[in-house]
Structure 1
Amino acid sequence: MASKFHLKTAKDGQFHFNLLAGNGEVILTSELYKSKASALNGIASVRNNSQREGAFESKPAAGDKFHFVLKATNGQVIGQSQLYASQSGCDNGVESVKRNAVSAVLQDDS
């Protein structure tokens, strides 16, 4: 299975997407967007910013877990990861986004 951006509509009518690795695992989750066009712009932003130096920020989370956020050049968070048990797992997640985001296909279920 190829990596993909899965675009969906939330219960409140807003839009969001997940970036899935080739094995189907969610590696990045977006914020909510009020319009589909904004969500599609968010996907384009993930593609571009995932390749930019300094775009990822790893952070400690509750319960000795770790996660990362992907930020646009203006500092706005575009997406975030799930929780990881270790910093090395979190680092691997960042590398997976870098590898998969550019070539991921779009699955639009919105």
Structure 2
Amino acid sequence: MSGKFEVSKSKNGKYLFNLKAGNGQIILTSQLFDSLHHAIEAAQYLQSEPKLDARIRRKISTVGDPYFSVLGRGDKVLARSEMYSSSSAMERGIDSLLDHAPTAQVIDTTAL
């Protein structure tokens, strides 16, 4: 099963996307965007970035949990993962991102 970028509207009226694996698990959640257009554009950037692996930053939270973020244009954080229980679990999350993002369909759930 292929992944999908689900673009939605948050409670505060801003927009975001979740990249979901074929099984529905969230791989990545974006920052908040002021417009639907910008959220869709950011998801499309991840689809088309030829060096996506170079845009990934491995991090450790203040409580010691590993996670990763993905930089967009201008080296600003575009999206980040959930917190993982181990570095190896985080690496599997990164692999899932790299597998799913290039072929994921962008779905605007605000219109549903």
Normalising by structure 2, report the TM-score: 0.89
Matching of residues 79-94 of structure 1 within 5 Å: 79-94=79-94
1:23 aligns with 2:23: yes
1:65 aligns with 2:45: no
Contact 1:15–1:33 at 8 Å: present in 2 too? yes
After the TM superposition, which of the residue ranges 69-78 and 49-58 deviates more from structure 2?
A: 49-58
Contact 2:44–2:106 at 8 Å: present in 1 too? no
Contact 1:50–1:97 at 8 Å: present in 2 too? no
Contact 1:49–1:71 at 8 Å: present in 2 too? no
Contact 2:53–2:98 at 8 Å: present in 1 too? no
In the aligned structure 1, how far is the partner of 2:102 from the partner of 2:53?
A: 15
For 1:95, the equivalent position in structure 2 comes to 95
Indicate the structure with greater helix content: 2
Q: For residue 53 of structure 1, report the CA deviation from its aligned partner.
A: 4.2
Amino acid at match of 1:48: S
Q: Identity over aligned residues, as a percent?
A: 28
1:46 aligns with 2:46: yes
Amino acid at match of 2:28: L
In the aligned structure 1, how far is the partner of 2:63 from the partner of 2:32?
A: 26
Contact 1:55–1:73 at 8 Å: present in 2 too? no
Amino acid at match of 1:102: P
Aligned length: 110
Instruction: Name the Cα RMSD after superposition.
Output: 1.5
Amino acid at match of 2:45: S
For 1:34, the equivalent position in structure 2 comes to 34
Q: For residue 52 of structure 1, report the CA deviation from its aligned partner.
A: 3.0
Normalising by structure 1, report the TM-score: 0.91
Contact 2:21–2:100 at 8 Å: present in 1 too? yes
For structure 2, list consecutive stretches of 5 or more residues without a partner in the other structure.
none
Contact 1:50–1:70 at 8 Å: present in 2 too? no
